[in-house]
Amino acid sequence: MYTRILVPLDGSATARHALDHAAALARLTGAPLVLLHVVEELDHCSGFEPATVYVRDVEPAFLAAGQALLDQAADGLRLGGLAVETVLIECKGQSVAARIVEQAAATRCDIVVMGTHGRRGLGRVLIGSDAEQVARLAPVPVLLVRQSHAAGTTPAQQAG
């Protein structure tokens, strides 16, 4: 049914939980996983550092941290026998959600599996939801996974 699964990762427990679900889906379908980390450049600069410092020190550091996040997740999945690719991109003025949707098309994925923090009310209005925007904009199905209340359980344990 699914031939390629896109999994955006941000380092949160919710994203890790979504990755567990995506891995279970990959085992069922034989589909490779495409792990994506989108870097929001503005999260990594104060605006006070000179451009040379940003280019020489700041940007390489946050890109290396993003790649390390992807590599750690990919290594664990590969040890479990799954096929995994990694993609690291920067927002470049676009929203995280727009970049995720773009990558779903660019990497020819036919489902996106991602975590959602389940914000409601004022928090949702003020912060917004990348997951909600991806679900609205994506040309493929989007599986939104909320953080489990039963921390430490796998998707299979939750189902059974």
How many Å apart are CA 96 and CA 133, to the nearest integer? 9
As a whole number, mean pLDDT of residues 70-82 equals 97
> Are the C-beta atoms of residues 132 and 116 closer than 8 Å to each other?
yes
pLDDT for 79 equals 97
Q: Domain limits of the chain?
A: 5-154
pLDDT for 109 equals 98
- Per-residue pLDDT of 24-41, as tens digits, reads 999 999 999 999 999 986
pLDDT for 48 equals 62
pLDDT for 1 equals 83
* Percentage of residues in the chain having pLDDT higher than 90: 60
- Choose the CATH number for 5-154 among 3.40.50.300, 3.40.50.920, 3.40.50.150, 3.40.50.620: 3.40.50.620
